[in-house]
Amino acid sequence: MQFLGASAFGAAFAGSGGGSALGMALLGAGKKRSFEPLPAMADDAVVTVAGVDVDILIGYGDIINDAGEKFGFNNDFIAFFPLVRGRVVPVNSVEALEAREALLWVNHETPLGILMHGNPGPLRGGPPKTADQVREEQLAVGGSIIRIVRSTRDNRWRFGGRHVLNRRISALTEIPFAGDVAIAGSKTATGTFGNCAGGVTPWGTVLTCEENYREFYGDLDAGYDFKPGSDWRKHVRLPEWEHSWTPHVFHHPWHYGWVVEVDPLTGRSRKLVAMGRADRECATVTTARDGRAVVYSGDDHRGGCIFKFISRIPGDLSEGDLYAADVDRGRWILLSWEKNPALRRNFRDQTHLLLNARAAGLAAGATAMDRPEDVELHPLTGAVFIALTNNPDRDNHHGSLLKIEEAGGDPLAMEFTASTWIAGGKETGFTCPDNLVFDRTGNLFFTTDVAKDKLHHGPYQGLGNNGLFVVPATGREAGRALRLASAPVEAEFTGPCFSPDEKTLFLSVQHPGEYSQFVDGKPRFSSSWPNNGRDTGADGKPCPALVALQNLPLVGSLSHS
């Protein structure tokens, strides 16, 4: 609550799970609906099971406010904040069900120059980017806050147009480090990017995670020792897939890779140093019995860690303890420089440890995982479900869904049991699970993420485009992954998020035509979705966008016809 201020206490969320009185009252409230799952397909369209309507809410480049700010590129994680008389109310409240307007926070992960301004950059066959092209990309990443309204005519959610509450957080926004901490000599960072998944706190703020931050300003070795006045640029390592910003702008890599907390009403932001720096995919929050917040997150890296953060005091994430999971032994390992001799040998202090959270976790004995991405909590049992996307280095091409059960069902527990809940592959019909969301009855919806140059090839042949799947909790299809929707060419669905009544599922359609080529000085697009010629270019140019799926067969029990 400290970040929002005392006046926001009345609007604080009662919790982040679906086990509220309202949630329990809605169990089984929906009608049972049968459906025929989709087969694997390669269509350049958003294709859904019969009876589902797809509405495009907003796409890249659409103006969101009178200042001329634009909805960003490669939209990802989505968070829903119901608005009642200008205040945010808990998403699991009766007020939320009746709300006619809401704010959506939407992440914007990475730019794609070839789809934005037509220049992919020198590492992808194009000329050097100009300063104006880099600035366009900087303004297109980070996050958007947009107001949506529910129509009185058909009860569908739509973009509410330009509004004073709509705003952008971008790679140019000044953001302080929480706790008045200085990182690489500065108490603020310039911007946020690589924003993949995230979470929502019980007090109504959004957590957005800077995942692939190396693509922008590179990184430094774990042993690097920052000294004021030193030429740190000499020590930066840039990956081969970087975005070619550094000839025009170069900020210290340590300023990125954090979980960023944002107030959706004001845009006020801060980077949460105590939670550590890694390739964070998400930050899923629950409340412990003593009121403190517990945050689970995945480190999307081949050999990455699963983290748990326990706040020091309720309502504030600026201080607390960071743990990494030893999945083999079923224990959480405290990443404390003071208490762990192995960590004192590898890092000079706690801040240095937090700057290199994965290296610290592995040094302390945590398990190197196969790209842990999104994390969600079962609404009825509290079990922790984690998408392990894949790891070709270990000949694991299809990934799996991991289930962690804390001892005694207590998120403060230091021991747990872990098991593979369902594995990807041709036998189960899905591959590379990524983002997860449960409905109130425990049906699990998830999206998939096969690398765009790997789709339909090798181990992924016959598995179709990326898609949206559901694993029913009950009925004869319980435990089976069924395809509900298929994404356009080279796109992936990300950020699945339900409206409070679960009649609408918001989805990001990210990077359609991502593998478009630059041939003879011109882009050659591999997708034309949504083929409506928004203000970013001519008809046929692919464009990431936010969609709303209406009338999904989801509330109550699911059955396969």
pLDDT, residue 35, reads 84
* Domain residue extents for the chain: 6-560
pLDDT tens digits along 280-310? 999 999 999 999 999 999 999 999 999 999 9
CB 243 within 8 A of CB 255: no
Token readout for 182 is 């200085």
Token readout for 397 is 């091409």
278 vs 182: CA distance, rounded Å:
18
CB 70 within 8 A of CB 61: yes
Contacts of 293 (CB under 8 A, 6+ apart): 201, 202, 285, 286, 287, 310, 311, 314, 315, 317, 320
Return left, alpha or beta for 364; rule: phi > 0 is left, psi -120 to 50 is alpha, else beta. alpha
Name the residue among 145, 173, 14 with its Cα closest to residue 79. 145
Contacts of 6 (CB under 8 A, 6+ apart): none
What is each CA distance from 280 to 16, 242, 295, 296, 413, in whole angstroms?
Answer: 19, 18, 12, 10, 22
pLDDT, residue 29, reads 39
Token readout for 9 is 């206490």
428 vs 412: CA distance, rounded Å:
34
212 vs 279: CA distance, rounded Å:
6
What is each CA distance from 369 to 111, 213, 234, 372, 418, in whole angstroms?
Answer: 27, 20, 31, 6, 13
Ranges under pLDDT 70 in the chain: 1-33, 532-539, 554-561
pLDDT tens digits along 490-513? 999 999 999 999 999 999 999 999
What is each CA distance from 116 to 73, 112, 171, 212, 393, in whole angstroms?
Answer: 8, 6, 16, 19, 33
Q: What is the DSSP string of 287-327?
A: E-TTS-EEEEEEB-SEEE-EEEEEESSTT--SSEEEEEEET
pLDDT, residue 498, reads 97
Q: Please report where in the chains the tokens 């919790």 appear, as a residue.
A: 15
Name the residue among 191, 163, 189, 162 with its Cα closest to residue 265. 163
Token readout for 175 is 């953001």
Token readout for 370 is 């196969």
- Phi first, then psi: what are they for 98, rounded to 5°? -95, -5
CB 285 within 8 A of CB 295: yes
84 vs 150: CA distance, rounded Å:
12
- Phi first, then psi: what are they for 512, rounded to 5°? -60, 140
Name the residue among 499, 536, 505, 492 with its Cα closest to residue 75. 492
Q: Please report where in the chains the tokens 């517990």 appear, as a residue.
A: 294
pLDDT, residue 221, reads 85
CB 80 within 8 A of CB 201: no
